[in-house]
C-alpha cells in the first residue's frame, strides 16, 4: 500500500460513524437529555452520546448545533434543538422579538441542514401579561418565522411547563393554551412539546389529554412526579400505560427522558428505556 493509499484509508476510517447498538425494541423512538446521566455529571458530550448509542437510544434532546458532529459520530438524531431566548424572557413579550428572531432563525437553519426534526420554543413568563395578549404576541412572532421552518422541514415545538412548582409565572402552562396557539399559527410545522411531568402537576388526566390532542403533539418529555426522578413505583404515574397509549396512537416522533436519577445513572436509564419498549 502506498502512502497515498494509507492516507485515503485513514480518512475513510475517520469518517465512519462509531459503532452503535441496534435501536431499542418496541414502537417508540427514545431520546435522552444530559440530565439522565446524573446531576452534576462531568461526562463530555462524546461520553454521553457514546453511552446513549450503546444502549440503543436513537436521539439526544436539548442540543445546540455545536453538538451535531458528536451526535452524528454515534448515529444519534438531534431530536430537539434549542431555539432562542430564555425560559423566563421570551416571545410572549413583543419587546423580545427582534432580539430572539436572529438566534431562532439560525438554529432553524442549522437544524434543517442537519436533518434535526424539532426546534424548541418557549413562551416566557407572564409578568402580569394577560393570557390573551401573551397569545397574540406569540402568534405574531411565530407567523413571521414559520415559513422558514416549513421550508427546512423543521417543527417548532412550544414546550408546556408547570407554573405551580418549577417555573412560576410561565405562560404556556396548560395544554388548551398551547393547542390554541398551534391552531392560530396555522401550520403543520407548529406543534407542542408535551412534558408529561409538567402536565401531571398542572392538569393530570394525561392519557385522555394526549389522545384528545395528539394532532398537536410532536414530542414528549418524561420524568416521575413528584421529584422529577426515575419513573419507578415511588412516583404517582403509571408510565407503562402512558407509553402504550402513545404508541397505540401511531406516534412517530420521539419520547425523550428528562429526569434526574437518584440511583446509579446507567441502571436507571436501562430501566427507563425498558419501560418504554411497548
In this prediction, residue 17 carries a pLDDT of 57
Is 1 within the bounds of a domain?
Answer: no
Dig out the grid coordinates for 163 from the structure: 407554573
Is 33 within the bounds of a domain?
Answer: yes
Per the structure, the complete domain to which residue 55 belongs is given by 22-275
Is 59 within the bounds of a domain?
Answer: yes
Is 2 within the bounds of a domain?
Answer: no
In this prediction, residue 40 carries a pLDDT of 84
Residue pointed to by grid coordinates 407572564: 126
Is 42 within the bounds of a domain?
Answer: yes
Is 15 within the bounds of a domain?
Answer: no
In this prediction, residue 21 carries a pLDDT of 77
Residues with Cβ within 8 Å of residue 66, at least 6 apart in sequence: none
In this prediction, residue 101 carries a pLDDT of 98
Which CATH number do you get for residue 213?
Answer: 3.20.20.150
159 closest CA partner among 256, 268, 35: 256
In this prediction, residue 11 carries a pLDDT of 42
Give the residues of the chain that fall short of pLDDT 50: 1, 3-15
Distance CA 271, CA 263 (A): 11
Is 9 within the bounds of a domain?
Answer: no
Dig out the grid coordinates for 216 from the structure: 398537536
Residue 210 gets which letter from DSSP?
A: H
Coil, strand or helix: which one is 129? coil
Residue 25, CB-side half-sphere exposure with 13 Å CA sphere:
2
| pTM of the complete model | 0.93
For the chain, the domain total comes to: 1
Contact assessment for residue 80 and residue 62, using Cβ atoms and an 8 Å cutoff: yes
Is 4 within the bounds of a domain?
Answer: no
Amino acid at each position: 500500500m502506498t502512502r497515498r493509499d494509507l492516507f485515503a484509508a485513514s480518512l475513510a476510517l475517520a469518517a465512519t460513524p462509531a459503532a452503535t447498538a441496534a435501536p431499542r425494541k418496541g414502537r417508540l423512538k427514545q431520546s435522552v437529555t444530559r440530565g439522565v446521566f446524573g446531576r452534576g455529571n462531568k461526562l463530555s458530550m462524546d461520553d454521553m452520546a457514546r453511552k446513549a448509542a450503546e444502549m440503543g437510544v436513537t436521539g439526544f434532546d436539548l442540543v445546540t448545533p455545536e453538538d451535531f458532529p458528536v451526535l452524528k459520530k454515534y448515529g444519534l438524531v438531534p431530536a430537539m434543538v434549542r431555539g432562542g431566548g430564555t425560559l423566563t424572557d421570551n416571545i410572549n413579550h413583543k419587546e423580545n422579538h427582534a432580539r430572539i428572531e436572529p438566534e431562532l432563525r439560525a438554529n432553524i437553519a442549522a437544524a434543517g441542514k442537519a436533518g434535526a426534526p424539532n426546534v424548541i420554543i418557549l413562551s416566557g413568563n407572564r409578568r402580569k401579561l394577560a393570557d390573551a395578549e401573551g397569545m397574540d404576541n406569540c402568534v405574531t412572532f411565530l407567523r413571521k418565522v414559520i415559513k422558514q421552518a416549513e421550508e427546512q422541514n423543521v417543527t417548532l415545538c412550544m414546550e408546556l411547563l408547570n407554573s405551580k412548582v418549577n417555573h412560576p409565572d410561565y405562560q404556556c402552562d396548560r395544554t388548551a393554551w398551547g393547542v390554541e396557539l398551534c391552531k392560530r399559527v396555522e401550520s403543520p410545522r407548529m406543534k407542542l412539546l408535551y412534558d408529561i411531568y409538567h402536565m401531571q402537576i398542572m392538569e393530570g388526566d394525561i392519557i385522555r389529554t394526549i389522545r384528545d390532542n395528539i394532532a398537536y403533539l410532536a414530542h414528549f418529555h418524561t420524568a416521575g412526579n413528584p421529584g422529577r426522578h426515575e419513573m419507578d413505583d415511588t412516583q404517582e404515574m403509571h408510565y407503562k400505560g402512558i407509553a402504550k397509549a402513545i404508541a397505540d396512537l401511531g406516534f412517530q416522533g420521539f419520547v425523550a427522558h428528562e429526569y434526574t436519577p437518584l440511583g446509579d445513572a446507567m441502571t436507571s436509564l436501562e430501566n427507563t428505556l425498558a419501560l418504554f419498549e411497548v
